[in-house]
Amino acid sequence: MKFTTSVIVTSLLAAGSVLASPNLEARAGAPQRCADPRSAIPWFRAFNAHFTDHFYTANHGEFQNAVNNLGYANEGTAAYVFASRQPGTVPFFRDYSARVHDHFYTANARESQNAVKNLGYAAEGITGWIYPDSACGGVPLYRLYNSRQADHFYTTSAAERDSATRLGYTQEGIAGYVLPY
């Protein structure tokens, strides 16, 4: 009797799952709308050795100010992002902790809100728009964190990610998908 009841319950759950699931075949056949990659802009990277802080921005004037006046070294273009919402993109939030001198970037609004509400960060807005997955040809933007130095680091290079890991950074996964430089 237990076996029969178990088979019936399992069958009903399976049937319910099939009925409740969206039609994945139909979704897979529909093309995803993607932004025109020609409209992407550079996302610049700078580093302040005094504070051990990596800083990223799509605003060239802001980048130049950090390099010329705030003690940051120009590390070039980290990737390409979009300046405004485009098909298939999500906002990429920037937060800053003045207490530990750390810039933090995330495509997760709740994570950004938590950093502001509970971790002492101030919201600095949207630094750009990125893809949430690789469907539009984006490459992974790896997120790492060094707790000893309170520094978040982002890179599209697996080799650079691995090198940073050997230097004490912890891999925190993929922040989103960007266009390569």
Q: What is the pLDDT of residues 47-97, one digit of tens each?
A: 999 999 999 999 999 999 999 999 999 999 999 999 999 999 999 999 999
The whole-number pLDDT of residue 17 equals: 32
130 — phi, psi (to 5°)? -130, 170
- Nearest CA among 34, 81, 45 for reference residue 178: 81
Cβ 144 vs Cβ 2: under 8 Å? no
Q: How many CB atoms lie within 10 A of CB 94?
A: 22
The whole-number pLDDT of residue 111 equals: 98
The whole-number pLDDT of residue 32 equals: 73
The whole-number pLDDT of residue 13 equals: 29
The whole-number pLDDT of residue 171 equals: 98
pTM for the full predicted model: 0.81
Mean pLDDT of the chain: 86
Whether the per-residue pLDDT at 159 is higher than 60: the answer is: yes
Q: Find the mean pLDDT for residues 115-130.
A: 98
Whether the per-residue pLDDT at 155 is higher than 50: the answer is: yes
Report CA-CA distances (Å) from 43 to 83, 89, 102: 10, 15, 17
The whole-number pLDDT of residue 181 equals: 75
Strands 90-97 and 122-130: antiparallel
Q: What is the pLDDT of residues 24-48, one digit of tens each?
A: 233 344 567 999 999 999 999 999 9
Residue 27 burial class via C-beta count within 10 angstroms: exposed 0-12, middle 13-18, buried 19 and up: exposed
As a whole-number percent, the residues of the chain with pLDDT over 90 amount to: 81
Collapsing DSSP to helix, strand or coil, 163 comes out as helix
The whole-number pLDDT of residue 30 equals: 52
Collapsing DSSP to helix, strand or coil, 60 comes out as helix
Q: Find the mean pLDDT for residues 103-120.
A: 98
- Nearest CA among 33, 109, 44, 32 for reference residue 72: 44
Q: How many CB atoms lie within 10 A of CB 76?
A: 9
22 pLDDT band, cuts 50/70/90, is: very low
- How far is the C-alpha of 144 from the C-alpha of 151, rounded, in Å? 8
Helix, strand, coil % over all residues of the chain, rounded to 5: 30, 40, 30
